[in-house]
Amino acid sequence: MNQALRRAWPAGGGCLLLWSIASAVQAAGAAAQDKPADYPVRPIRIIVSSVAGGGLDIISRAVAQMLTDRWTQTAVVDNRPGGGTVVATELAAKSAADGYTLFAGTDTLNILGVTKRVPFDVRKAFDPIVPLTQQPYILIVQPGLPAKSVKELIAYSQKQALRFGSSGIGTIGHLGMERLAALSKGKFEHVPYKGGAASILGMLVGEIHMYPGLLLSAGSSIRSGKMRALACLGLKRIPAMPDMPTVAEQGFPGFKIVNSYNLYAPAGTPRAITAALNRVVAEFVASPKVAQRLISEGSQPPDTRMTPDEFKTFTLREYDEVEQQVNSLKVKLF
């Protein structure tokens, strides 16, 4: 597993080099044929619900560069972190539905909607455009923890409570680990942090026993042996770590903790614009160079291409699933 990880993830932080390839994926054919004739005529803003440098920010900047190159009109990223993505979500929802403000968000959007942390129905506030990529979480544990599998981890936690970290209350990782605790009857105690970097630091200094993290941010600590990857939390194994089984394979069928990065527009944005964005962005993330780079960093490009209508149907199903999970758990999510 470690050799495969080293080959796929060069030392020095491959994420910083990730989107030097963005400008290399240029438009094939005449750009005028893949968008409305009168769009865009001014800069496009992509509101991003995370800080600069994270996975969502990186893929959003790649998309912005691609749009700039392809349509010869500037597209810029506007990072608006804060409030557990509430700040960016509310700003994007209130923006004009004219195609010049887009929103790059995550599956946390569903949690915000289900827990009523924003004063509107997120299902009606946005038009889903296209999925960008999916980040399956990895269950990371302290290297000295006497558990080499999920089964052993659960058995150990039934004797001694284990602390798990997350990027904050009500996040994807928090909800997922609470669900695993409920399914397994394990004794898990939640320790919320302000972001993934703080959670990793908490692992390194011994404040928590485990953490649902991303290969993108935890890879160097795993390679160095400061943390140990116990299981993939997606429904399928990560190509960069093919020997690491999923939690679903270890006794919990259907269980997953994944975070999708998606592109949305304020509700009511002209269909011709969202359709054009869907085509060029889907083509970009599916291109061989981009897809391979995503895979090497622990991400998973979309399995299939979806139209905006198909993607909306998919997001509504995901919302219903989150709602069912939240309603079944007796935990504070905000």
- From the list 79, 22, 14, the residue with the least C-alpha distance to 45 is 79
DSSP lists the bridge partners of residue 231 as 139
Cis peptide before 136 (omega within 30 of 0): no
What is the pLDDT, as a whole number, of residue 136?
Answer: 85
Residues in Cβ contact with 66 at an 8 Å cutoff, skipping those fewer than 6 apart: 22, 23, 25, 280, 281, 284
- DSSP letter at 319? H
Check residue 130 and give its pLDDT: 98
Token readout for 168 is 């904050």
Q: Which residues pair with 101 in a beta bridge?
A: 45
Across 124-136, average pLDDT: 95
Mean pLDDT check: name the lowest of 21-35, 45-59, 87-101, 199-213: 21-35
Total residues found in the chain within this entry: 334
Least trusted range by pLDDT, from 9-13, 98-102, 139-143, 300-304 = 9-13
Q: Summarize the confidence of residues 78-88 as an average pLDDT.
A: 91
Rg (CA), the chain: 20
User: Is residue 44 over pLDDT 90?
Assistant: yes
Distances (CA, A) of 11 to 7, 135, 293, 296: 9, 20, 15, 13
11-32 mean pLDDT: 43
> Is the predicted pLDDT of residue 266 greater than 50, yes or no?
yes
Give pLDDT, residue 169: 85
Q: Tens digits of per-residue pLDDT, 286-315?
A: 999 999 888 887 788 888 899 999 999 999
- Grade residue 202 by pLDDT with cuts at 50, 70 and 90: very high
Instruction: Write the pLDDT tens digit of every residue in 241-263.
Output: 899 999 999 999 999 999 899 99
Of 23-27, 66-70, 267-271, give the lowest mean pLDDT range. Answer: 23-27
Extract the tokens encoding 224: 């160095």
- Name residue 210's beta-bridge partners: 141, 164
- Mean pLDDT computed over 37-58: 91
Tokens 């209350």 map to which residue? 169
Confidence (pLDDT) at 217: 78
Higher-confidence residue of 187 and 23: namely: 187
Give the chain's mean pLDDT: 87
**Strand-strand pairing, 138-141 and 188-192:** unpaired
Q: Where are the alpha helices (DSSP H) in the chain?
A: 2-8, 55-71, 86-93, 108-114, 122-125, 150-157, 172-184, 196-204, 215-224, 271-286, 288-296, 308-328
Place of tokens 């903790």: 257
Domains of the chain (ranges plus CATH)? 10-135+259-328 (3.40.190.150), 138-250 (3.40.190.10)
**Portion of the chain with pLDDT greater than 90, in percent:** 66
Q: Is the pLDDT of residue 29 over 70?
A: no
User: What is the percent of the chain where pLDDT is above 70?
Assistant: 90
**Is residue 33 predicted with pLDDT exceeding 70?**
no
pTM score = 0.84
Evaluate if residue 14 carries a pLDDT over 70. no
Q: Is the pLDDT of residue 21 over 50?
A: no
User: Token pair 């700039």 is at which residue?
Assistant: 68
Other CB atoms within a 10 A radius of the CB of residue 266 amount to 21
List CB contacts of 261: < 8 A, sequence separation 6 or more.
Answer: 55, 56, 59, 60, 104, 105, 106, 131, 132, 133, 134, 135
